[in-house]
Amino acid sequence: MIIDTHAQLWTAEALQTLPPAMKKSYEAVFAGLQGQTLETTIQDMDAAGVDKSVVVAIDAETTYNYRVPDELVAQAVASYPDRLIGFAGGDPHKGKAAARALERAVKELGLKGLKLMPHLAELNPNDRQYYPLYEKACELDIPVLLHMGTQYHAGTRIKYCHPLYMDDVAIDFPDLKIIIAHFGWPWTGDTIAVALRHKNVYFNIAGWAPRHIPEDVIKYMNGPLSGKALFGSDFPLVSRQRIIKELRELPLKEKTLTRLLTENPRKVLKL
Does residue 159 carry a pLDDT above 80?
Answer: yes
244-253 pLDDT, tens digit per residue, is 999 999 999 9
Please say if the pLDDT value at position 94 is more than 80.
Answer: yes
For the cut 90, the answer to whether the pLDDT of residue 153 exceeds it is no
Instruction: State residue 87's pLDDT score.
Output: 98
Angle between helices 131-140 and 96-107 (to 10 degrees): 20
Inform me whether the pLDDT recorded for 71 exceeds 90.
yes
Q: Would the pLDDT of 96 be above 80?
A: yes
Q: Look at residue 30 and tell me whether its pLDDT is greater than 80.
A: no
Backbone phi, then psi, for 36, in 5-degree steps?
Answer: -75, 145
pLDDT above 80 for 32: no
**How many domains does the structure of the chain reveal?**
1
The rounded distance, in Å, linking the Cα atoms of 94 and 17 is 18
Task: For residue range 182-237, list pLDDT tens digits in order.
Answer: 999 999 999 999 999 999 999 999 999 999 999 999 999 999 999 999 999 999 99
Dihedral sign (CA 13, 15, 19, 20)? negative
Burial label, 88 (beta-carbon count in 10 A; 0-12, 13-18, 19+): buried
Separation of alpha carbons 126 and 73, rounded Å: 26
Instruction: Answer yes or no: is pLDDT of 62 > 80.
Output: yes
Is it the case that residue 268 has pLDDT exceeding 80?
yes
Amino acid type, 32: G
Mean pLDDT of the chain: 95
Q: Which residue did the predictor score with more confidence, 108 or 35?
A: 108
Residue pair 53/80 in contact by the 8 Å Cβ criterion: no
The boundaries of the domain holding residue 259 are: 3-269
Kindly state the average pLDDT of the residues 159-165. 98
Q: What percent of the chain has pLDDT over 90?
A: 88
The residue count of the chain comes to 271
* Whole-number pLDDT of residue 236: 93
Model confidence pLDDT, tens digit, residues 107-122: 999 999 999 999 999 9
In tens, the pLDDT along 97-106 reads 999 999 999 9
CATH number at residue 183: 3.20.20.140
Average pLDDT over residues 81-87: 98
Residues with Cβ within 8 Å of residue 133, at least 6 apart in sequence: 90, 92, 98, 99, 102, 114, 116, 144
What pLDDT was estimated at residue 33?
A: 76
> What pLDDT was estimated at residue 129?
98
Q: What's the pLDDT score for residue 120? A: 97
